Amino acid sequence: MQAIVISGSRMLGGQSGQSGRAGEALAAGLESEHVDVGRIVLPECHIERCRQCNDDGWGICRHKPECIIQDGLANVVEQLKAAEVAIFVTPVYYGDLSESMKAFLDRLRRICSFEESRPGIDGKPTVGVAVAGGGGGGSVRCSMLLGQTLTQIGLDVVDLVPVRRQNLDVKCKQLRIVGRWLAGKPTS
């Protein structure tokens, strides 16, 4: 089985950062069940935000599952489609998704509203994680926003895990278990 961890923080891998620790805990659970886990760090992927091309807010994405911007989006989408399960980890910024996660999901949502773009997306078991590493506020709100957008895209959100600085240690233990459980999910 192949899984992909898509992070809206630079801090993934090497146990660094709080989002990184949360993402790596889930990855460790998957890997303990012999799942091959890929990692994508969105702030390094050169994904622009949507340009809202026309006066009506649409672009070519109104008529076909394509975006006019030639950047890192297609590569990430390809890796997401290739994976059988997906994990989205975002740090909580102002109670919301990080900018890189928002830019990616905003554009993915537009191209995923077409039948042709559904294979590899629709029904894919997906877990969302929101890490509030400051005061700790906003993790529940952010995880709900993340879950809502992932669902609109067509992914099957099988779990949402709000994490805050104060419960990071216990949530990492939980995320490891979630990873092991996810490894046993039937794939779409």
Q: Which residues bind ligand FMN (CB under 6 A)?
A: 9, 11, 17-20, 91-95, 131-138
Shortest spacing between CB 27 and ligand FMN, in angstroms: 14
Distance CA 144, CA 158 (A): 13
**Nearer residue to ligand FMN within complex by CB, 108 or 131:** 131
Shortest spacing between CB 7 and ligand FMN, in angstroms: 8
Q: For the chain, give me the number of helices (H) and strands (E)?
A: 5, 5
Shortest spacing between CB 163 and ligand FMN, in angstroms: 8
Distances (CA, A) of 28 to 32, 44, 146, 173: 6, 22, 22, 10
158 contacts 183 by C-beta, under 8 angstroms = no
Q: Helices 139-153 & 99-111, crossing angle to 10 degrees?
A: 20
**Nearer residue to ligand FMN within complex by CB, 123 or 134:** 134
- Strands (E) located in 62-155: 85-91, 125-132
Shortest spacing between CB 101 and ligand FMN, in angstroms: 11
Q: Helices 99-111 & 73-82, crossing angle to 10 degrees?
A: 70
**Nearer residue to ligand FMN within complex by CB, 58 or 94:** 94
**Nearer residue to ligand FMN within complex by CB, 61 or 87:** 87
**Nearer residue to ligand FMN within complex by CB, 123 or 137:** 137
Shortest spacing between CB 136 and ligand FMN, in angstroms: 5
